[in-house]
Amino acid sequence: MLLTLVVVALGVLAYQGVRTALALRSAAASAQDLRTQVSDGELQQARSTARSLADDASVARRHSDGWLWSAATLTPVVGDDLAAVRDLAQGLDALAGRTPDALALLDAVKGGLRTPDGAIDLGVVEGLRQPVGRLAAAVDTARADVADVRPDDLVPPLAGPAEEFVDQLDSVASMMGSADSALRLLPTMAGGDGRRDYLLVVQNNAEIRATGGLPGSTSVLTVRDGEVSLGNQGNAGAFGFSVDPVAPLSPAEKQLYGTTLATDLRDTNLTPDFPRTASLMSRIADRVLARPVDGVISIDPVTLAQVLRAIGPVEVAGQQLTADNAVDKLLHQPYQTLPDNDAQDAYFRQVSRGMLDAVLSASGDQVALVQVLSEAVRQRRLLVWSATPAEQEVLARYPVAGALPRDTGTHPAVGFYLNDATAAKIQYFLRYDLDLASLGCTDRGQQVVEATMRLRSRVPRPVSQLTDFVTGYGDYAPRGDDRMNLRMYAPTGGKLTALTRDGKAADIQQVVHDGRQVSVLPVLLAPGQEMVVKATFTTRPGQDGTPRLSWTPGIEWAPTSVVARSRCG
Task: Compute the distance between CA of residue 422 and CA of residue 482 in angstroms, rounded to an integer.
Answer: 6
The answer to whether 552 touches 212, Cβ cutoff 8 Å, is: yes
Residue boundaries of the structural domains of the chain: 12-188, 196-394, 405-563
User: Environment class of residue 101 by beta-carbon count within 10 Å: exposed (0-12), middle (13-18) or buried (19+)?
Assistant: middle
Residue 301: Cβ within 10 Å count:
29
User: Reduced to 3 states, what is the DSSP secondary structure of residue 270?
Assistant: helix
On the question of pLDDT at 151 being above 60, the answer is yes
* CA nearest to 480, candidates 538, 528, 522, 534: 528
Per-residue pLDDT of 167-207, as tens digits, reads: 776 777 777 777 778 888 888 998 889 999 999 999 999 99
On the question of pLDDT at 325 being above 90, the answer is yes
* CA nearest to 306, candidates 375, 352, 358, 357: 375
Following DSSP, what letter does each residue of 476-541 receive, concatenated?
Answer: SS-TT-EEEEEEEEPPTT-EEEEEEETTEE---EEEEETTEEEEEEEEEE-TT-EEEEEEEEE--T
Asked if CATH classification 3.40.50 holds for the domain at 196-394, the reply, yes or no, is no
Q: Is the pTM of this model over 0.85?
A: yes
Per-residue pLDDT of 460-470, as tens digits, reads: 999 999 999 99
Angle at 261 between CA 294 and CA 336, to 5 degrees: 90
Same CATH fold, 405-563 and 196-394?
no
Asked if CATH classification 1.10.287 holds for the domain at 405-563, the reply, yes or no, is no
pLDDT confidence of residue 17? 47
Tell which wins on pLDDT, 130 or 31. Answer: 130
Using a pLDDT cut of 70, give the percent of the chain over it: 80
Q: What is the mean pLDDT of the chain?
A: 85
Cis omega (within 30 of 0) on the bond before 462?
A: yes
Which letter does DSSP use for residue 474 in this model?
A: S
